[in-house]
Amino acid sequence: MLSLCYDSSMKKYYEAYDQRYQIIHEKGHSWSSDTPTPIVYDVMQKYNLSSSSILQIGCGEGRDALYLLKKGYGVTASDISAEAINYCKLQNPDYCDHFIILNCINDEHEYRYDFIYSVAVIHMLVNDNDMISFCRFIHDHLNANGGFTYLFHGRWCKRISK
């Protein structure tokens, strides 16, 4: 049996990206490409979300949110990493109000959405309690009949309705 020692003062695995972004941005580079994930836009069209309120969890450097924002979708793009959100705001001043720092595991967030999506985030939630908190956050921040979709390492996508 695998037993893990966990010290609550240690950073969580899912917080690790902040430092990665800082290091790469200091060098004048970006961490990811700016190519959007095709299935995200496909899902927006399939479920006719053009006039919906949409939350992205873990937007990183903003490639998917920006693509949707430029197409007129009402996206709020969030990430736990202050570095990532500052980068998104600096790179896209026209949309800076759409990018917010938010930890979907612990933070309070006052708004509800018609649709929530995330791309390549849940593999970082290695602790069962974190995964449960993530699911609870989704549930608590969807409007009635809202939907959630996630992309897990680029392989598959699922829609869950509230």
Ligand X SMILES: C[S@@+](CC[C@H](N)C(=O)[O-])C[C@H]1O[C@@H](n2cnc3c(N)ncnc32)[C@H](O)[C@@H]1O
Comparison of 14 and 148: residue with beta carbon closer to ligand X: 14
SS (H, E, C) 15-39: HCHHHHHHHHHHCCCCCCCCCCCHH
Q: Going by C-beta distance under 8 Å and a sequence separation of 6 or more, which residues neighbour residue 75?
A: 54, 55, 56, 65, 68, 69, 98
Comparison of 58 and 146: residue with beta carbon closer to ligand X: 58
Least CB distance to ligand X at residue 158 (A): 16
User: What angle (nearest 5°) sits at the alpha carbon of residue 138, between those of residues 151 and 63?
Assistant: 40
DSSP class per residue in 90-110:
HH-GGGGGGEEE--TTT----
Least CB distance to ligand X at residue 18 (A): 6
Least CB distance to ligand X at residue 25 (A): 12
Q: Which residues would be at the binding site for ligand X (CB under 6 A)? A: 14, 17, 32, 57-60, 63, 79-81, 84, 102-105, 119-121, 124
Comparison of 126 and 145: residue with beta carbon closer to ligand X: 126
Q: Which residue number is nearest to ligand X in terms of Cβ?
A: 60
Comparison of 79 and 114: residue with beta carbon closer to ligand X: 79
